[in-house]
Amino acid sequence: MSTEEFTALLVFATAMSFTPGPNTTLSAALGANFGLRRTLGFIVAVPTGWTLMMLASGLGLGALVLALPGANLVLKTLGVAYLLWLAWKLAGAGQLGEADPNRLRIGFWQGVTLQFVNIKAWMFALALAAGWVTSAGGLPASNPGQRLAIVCAVMPVFALTSNLMYALVGSVLRQWLAHGRRLLWFNRTMATLLLATAVWMVGA
């Protein structure tokens, strides 16, 4: 992988990782509701699940699954349904942590699973597989295994950093949100972002 390709990879990773999406929205919401320590499981789950997806895409399994008749529709349906459920749970949460009976619980394995129904994550992984792993400068790559290893080493760092940053912002706001109905409206705003993502997924 040339210096130019690696630089382009870093720019692409920055744009995809730090722009709002299901993962970053949930990281901010979980950080605000439960604090940074309780959100670490989800933060680690995001790069873990995405790396597994990247490996599958780099080996051709991701494109094969999406090429199956109806597979893309099933994936979208599951992703949209999961986001709607998360938005519903989040919209009803108005108290911090364990005090709220409607609290949103997303642990490590739920975070890993979310990556496999996240259309944005799939698009990211498949684009990297086609643009950086199997090809170089528009030609078939002579070292796809090495290029896949580089992608799988670099990208999780961006995923971890972006979700940690969003969760940190949420946790910093935690004390301020504890007053009045601020947390409820914050959670409803985050839920609205998840709904907007679900709408985008339908049209993707």
pLDDT means per 10 residues in the chain (204 residues)?
A: 81 86 92 92 96 89 73 83 88 66 76 87 84 73 86 93 96 90 90 90 76
- Is position 6 within any domain? no
Q: How many whole angstroms separate alpha carbon 129 and alpha carbon 12? A: 13
- Is position 15 within any domain? no
Q: How many whole angstroms separate alpha carbon 189 and alpha carbon 170? A: 13
- Is position 2 within any domain? no
pLDDT of residue 130: 81
- Integer angstrom CA distances of residue 188 from 30, 91, 92: 13, 4, 8
pLDDT of residue 102: 55
- Is position 47 within any domain? yes
Cα angle 149-155-161, degrees, rounded to a multiple of 5? 145
- Is position 17 within any domain? no
Give pLDDT tens digits for 63-114: 777 677 777 788 888 888 988 988 888 887 766 665 554 567 788 999 999 8
When divided into structural domains, the chain yields a total of 1
Domain region containing 90 = 23-203
- Is position 12 within any domain? no
* 119 neighbors 75 (Cβ within 8 angstroms): yes
pLDDT of residue 45: 96
pLDDT of residue 139: 65
- Is position 108 within any domain? yes
- Is position 10 within any domain? no
Establish how many alpha carbons lie within 13 A of residue 3's alpha carbon, considering only the half-sphere containing its beta carbon: 0
pLDDT of residue 1: 66
CB-based contacts of 202: which residues, under 8 Å, 6+ apart?
A: 76, 80
